[in-house]
């Protein structure tokens, strides 16, 4: 019998409007404004407007993840059309909202103005210049395409979760709150770093009623089935830590798009497996959209009504607390609040000192680890003497920098995890703020060999197609040994290796300062969030205290009237349902 029931979308919208009309009685009543305050009524107004907007939106999928994870390419592959730009670089520089309709592009400015764009203008090469001339801080692109999947779903393509999130944090947070499903994209080459796991735990997972898809992109970098399966096992271990029993998809958006365009695939050996995986992912997305299209309005409205009740009930609790106090108790309340503010200042200083001291110890530990690694790499250069010097000149510097960068990242991830455990003990909100603040933090190393033929293109091509993990032995055994022909030693062998050795000497000398910069950057970002968190807590406490005292100082008749209105609001909110 359950299969015979269905929801009528229009009837649901009518019911929602009817429920929201109860809120209008509050927001347009001068009595509620005079007694409960303009700030409370404004909150009611904001929630009513948000719910009315949400009820008109189709099923919404938000695609997010760190920068350079192929989110835009994944969306294009899912839609079967190059809708979002992927040219020049891979970072999205706007928040893109893609929905069904006649082919059209519009740039939405924070001021509310819209600008019609051609397909050529939405490509990054032209879009960057256009945005620079407008002088606004954040932008949204609204893209409409007559694609069948979009009839029932809107897809939101977010900027990468790196430094650009500082500007787009509000838009991304709002998109996640409005999401009916989230597709979180990470790289198969560097799957689910500690920062990515923390972002999932603190920002994505709290959306409890939202479907979540984990996508490991760039699976075409796996050279064979054995490597593919080994990486799948590693990803399974990492997802189990933050998302127990959560399935994931190992895909190649690039391979799928090449398959659709009938051009050369990036990894012919894995083409069949990659195609099958993407087909399963697309089928699951389509199935979810089909199943949820009828019930999503109910789920979404219940989620928003619950959020509204929690926020408004908290505000009403503060008012009721004040109404129960007399003048003497109000004086005690202020005194207690002043003591609490002092306690917050002491707590902030203690937390900041602990973080600073801890990171200094961690920094010294990392310097020792890194110096051991550099010394080991230096000793093992003797193993390169059987490799043709041309390839050493081209790729060895790149390998060294990449290895050191990975090593520093691992050290900092280990120490950052300790910081977040400390912050978590204080507040989950503080952890969430700090996670966002450290996205994209990095420090660069410098290592070079005298060489006039080494080009950036060589480096990037070699890294993308060949570079694996496992330290310097893998460089010989897999990277160089497995992909470069051996040849007789050139006459200038001793010069090249003397140059390499000198680079290691310089690297060892500069290592403490390099690591210090990285940890100072991490410390400053975390401490900034600690200061802002405690500042907000202090401001919130001050505001609540003043509100409590204000209600406490009212006459008995005024208190009685306020209590009656508060009970009326609570009853209205509790009875709102679908």
Task: List the CATH number of the domain containing 94.
Answer: 3.40.50.300
Residues 310, 395: Cα–Cα separation, whole Å: 57
Residues 189, 464: Cα–Cα separation, whole Å: 9
Report if residue 221 sits inside a domain.
yes
pLDDT at residue number 168:
61
Residues 555, 535, single domain; the answer is no
Half-sphere exposure at residue 411, Cβ-oriented, CA atoms within 13 angstroms: 27
Question: Of 133-137, 176-180, 562-566, which gets the smallest average pLDDT?
Answer: 133-137
Report if residue 340 sits inside a domain.
no
Locus of tokens 């059209």 = 104
Report if residue 5 sits inside a domain.
no
Q: Which among 317, 16, 56 has a CA at the least distance from the CA of 24?
A: 16
Residues 277, 121: Cα–Cα separation, whole Å: 34
Question: Of 72-86, 326-340, 376-390, 564-578, which gets the smallest average pLDDT?
Answer: 376-390
Report if residue 25 sits inside a domain.
yes
Report if residue 322 sits inside a domain.
yes
Q: How confident is the model at residue 327 (pLDDT cuts 50, 70, 90)?
A: confident
SS3 (DSSP) at 99: strand
Residues 415, 436, single domain; the answer is yes
- 341 and 538 Cβ atoms separated by less than 8 Å: yes
pLDDT at residue number 321:
93
How much is the CA Rg of the chain, to the nearest whole Å? 29
Residues 521, 388, single domain; the answer is yes
Residues 326, 356, single domain; the answer is no
**Residue with the larger pLDDT of the pair 504 and 134:** 504
- Pairing mode, if any, of strands 95-100 and 153-157? antiparallel
Residues 552, 530, single domain; the answer is no
Q: Is the pLDDT of residue 13 over 60?
A: yes
Both structure tokens of 17: 């409007």
Report if residue 418 sits inside a domain.
yes
Contacts of 121 (CB under 8 A, 6+ apart): 105, 127, 130
End-to-end CA gap in the chain: 21
Task: Give the residue-averaged pLDDT of 193-208.
Answer: 78
pLDDT at residue number 487:
34
How long a stretch of residues is the chain?
A: 578
Report if residue 136 sits inside a domain.
yes
pLDDT in tens, 64-96: 888 788 898 999 999 999 988 665 443 456 788
Give the dihedral sign, CA 329/333/335/336.
Answer: positive
Q: How confident is the model at residue 9 (pLDDT cuts 50, 70, 90)?
A: low
pLDDT at residue number 94:
74
Host domain of residue 415: 345-539
Residues 279, 253, single domain; the answer is yes
User: Helices 493-552 and 296-323 sit at what angle, rounded to 10 degrees?
Assistant: 50
Q: Is the pLDDT of residue 262 over 60?
A: yes
- Count of structural domains within the chain: 3
pLDDT in tens, 16-41: 788 788 888 888 889 999 999 999 99
Task: Give CB contacts under 8 A, 24+ apart, made by 129-135.
Answer: 131/93, 131/94, 134/109
pLDDT at residue number 166:
53
Q: Is the pLDDT of residue 479 over 50?
A: no
Half-sphere exposure at residue 110, Cβ-oriented, CA atoms within 13 angstroms: 12
Q: Is the pLDDT of residue 224 over 90?
A: yes
Residues 94, 198, single domain; the answer is yes
Q: Is the pLDDT of residue 393 over 80?
A: no
| pTM recorded for the entire structure | 0.72
Q: Which backbone phi and psi does 98 adopt, to 5 degrees?
A: -110, 120
Domain end marker among 266, 294, 322 = 294
Task: Give the residue-averaged pLDDT of 107-132.
Answer: 80
Both structure tokens of 210: 């939202």
User: Helices 9-27 and 556-575 sit at what angle, rounded to 10 degrees?
Assistant: 180
Residues 481, 408, single domain; the answer is yes
pLDDT at residue number 439:
60
Task: Give the per-residue SS3 of 251-305.
Answer: CCHHHHHHHHHCCCCCCHHHHHHHHHHHHHHHHHHHHHHHHHCCCHHHHHHHHHH
Contacts of 449 (CB under 8 A, 6+ apart): 392, 393, 396, 397, 496, 499, 500, 503
**Residue with the larger pLDDT of the pair 151 and 474:** 151
Residues 102, 29, single domain; the answer is no
Residues 371, 431, single domain; the answer is yes
Q: Is the pLDDT of residue 478 over 50?
A: no
DSSP code per residue over 131-193: HHHH--S--EEEEEE--GGGGSEEEEEPPPSSTTHHHHHHHHHHHHHH-SEEEEEEESSS-S-
Task: Give the residue-averaged pLDDT of 473-481.
Answer: 32
Domain end marker among 230, 264, 294 = 294
Residues 346, 348: Cα–Cα separation, whole Å: 5
Both structure tokens of 377: 């790499």
Taking 3-state DSSP, the helix, strand and coil percentages for the chain, each rounded to the nearest 5, stand at 65, 10, 25
- 300 and 54 Cβ atoms separated by less than 8 Å: yes
Task: Give the residue-averaged pLDDT of 245-268.
Answer: 94
Q: Is the pLDDT of residue 219 over 90?
A: yes
Task: Give the residue-averaged pLDDT of 310-325.
Answer: 94
Q: Which among 267, 258, 278 has a CA at the least distance from the CA of 78?
A: 278
Both structure tokens of 530: 């600690």
Q: How confident is the model at residue 481 (pLDDT cuts 50, 70, 90)?
A: very low
Both structure tokens of 217: 């992109």
Percent of the chain with pLDDT over 90: 40
Helices (H), 9-115: 9-27, 30-36, 38-54, 71-79
Task: Give the residue-averaged pLDDT of 359-386.
Answer: 90
pLDDT at residue number 456:
36
Q: How confident is the model at residue 387 (pLDDT cuts 50, 70, 90)?
A: confident
Task: Give the residue-averaged pLDDT of 313-317.
Answer: 95
Percent of the chain with pLDDT over 70: 84
Residues 286, 310, single domain; the answer is no
Q: Is the pLDDT of residue 308 over 60?
A: yes
Residue 515 burial (CB count, 10 A): 24
Report if residue 484 sits inside a domain.
yes
Residues 355, 433, single domain; the answer is yes
């Amino acid at each position: 019998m359950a299969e015979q029931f269905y929801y009528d979308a229009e009837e649901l919208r009518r019911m929602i409007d009817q429920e929201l009309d109860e809120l209008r009685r509050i927001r347009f009543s001068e009595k509620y404004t005079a007694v409960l305050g303009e700030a409370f009524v404004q909150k009611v107004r904001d929630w009513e407007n948000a719910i009315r907007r949400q009820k008109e939106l189709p099923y919404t999928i938000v695609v997010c993840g760190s920068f350079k994870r192929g989110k835009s390419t994944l969306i294009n592959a899912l839609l079967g059309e190059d809708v979002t730009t992927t040219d020049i670089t891979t970072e999205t520089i706007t928040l893109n909202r893609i929905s069904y309709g006649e082919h059209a592009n519009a740039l939405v400015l924070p001021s509310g103005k819209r600008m019609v764009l051609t397909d050529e203008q939405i490509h990054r090469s032209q879009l960057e210049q256009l945005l620079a001339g407008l002088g606004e801080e954040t932008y949204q692109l609204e893209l409409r395409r007559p694609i069948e999947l979009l009839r029932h779903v809107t897809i939101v393509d977010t900027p990468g979760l790196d430094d650009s999130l500082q500007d787009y944090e509000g838009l991304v947070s709002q998109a996640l709150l409005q999401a009916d499903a989230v597709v979180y994209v990470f790289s198969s080459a560097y799957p689910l770093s500690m920062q990515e796991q923390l972002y999932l735990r603190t920002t994505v997972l709290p959306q409890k009623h939202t479907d979540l898809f984990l996508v490991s992109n760039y699976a075409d970098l796996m050279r064979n089935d054995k490597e593919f399966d080994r990486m799948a096992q590693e990803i399974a271990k990492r997802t189990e830590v933050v998302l127990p029993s959560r399935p994931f998809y190992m895909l190649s958006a690039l391979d799928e798009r090449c398959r659709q365009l009938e051009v050369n695939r990036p990894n012919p050996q894995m083409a069949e497996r990659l195609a099958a995986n993407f087909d399963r992912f697309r089928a699951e997305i389509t199935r979810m959209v089909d199943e949820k299209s009828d019930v999503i309005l109910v789920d979404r409205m219940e989620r928003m009504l619950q959020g509204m009740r929690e926020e408004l009930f908290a505000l009403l609790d503060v008012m009721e607390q004040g109404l129960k106090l007399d003048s003497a108790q109000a004086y005690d309340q202020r005194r207690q609040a002043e003591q609490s503010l002092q306690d917050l200042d002491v707590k902030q200083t203690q937390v900041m000192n602990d973080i600073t001291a801890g990171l200094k110890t961690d920094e010294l530990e990392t310097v020792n680890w890194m110096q051991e690694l550099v010394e080991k790499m230096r000793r093992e250069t003797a193993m390169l003497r059987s490799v043709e010097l041309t390839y050493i000149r081209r790729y060895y510097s790149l390998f060294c920098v990449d290895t050191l960068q990975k090593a520093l990242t691992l050290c900092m991830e280990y120490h950052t995890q300790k910081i977040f455990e400390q912050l978590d003990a204080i507040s989950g909100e503080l952890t969430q703020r700090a996670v966002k603040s450290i996205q994209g933090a990095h420090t660069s190393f410098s290592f070079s060999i005298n060489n006039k033929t080494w080009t950036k293109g060589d480096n990037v091509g070699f890294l993308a197609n060949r570079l694996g993990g496992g330290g310097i032995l893998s460089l010989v055994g897999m990277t160089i040994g497995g992909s470069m022909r051996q040849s007789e030693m050139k006459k200038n062998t001793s010069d090249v290796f003397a140059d390499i050795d000198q680079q290691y000497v310089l690297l060892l000398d500069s290592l403490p300062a390099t690591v210090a910069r990285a940890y100072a950057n991490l410390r400053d970002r975390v401490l900034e969030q600690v200061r802002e968190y405690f500042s907000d807590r202090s401001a919130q406490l001050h505001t609540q205290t003043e509100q409590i005292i204000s209600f406490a100082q009212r006459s008995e008749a005024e208190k009685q009237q306020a209590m009656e209105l508060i009970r009326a609001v609570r009853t209205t909110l509790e009875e709102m349902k679908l």
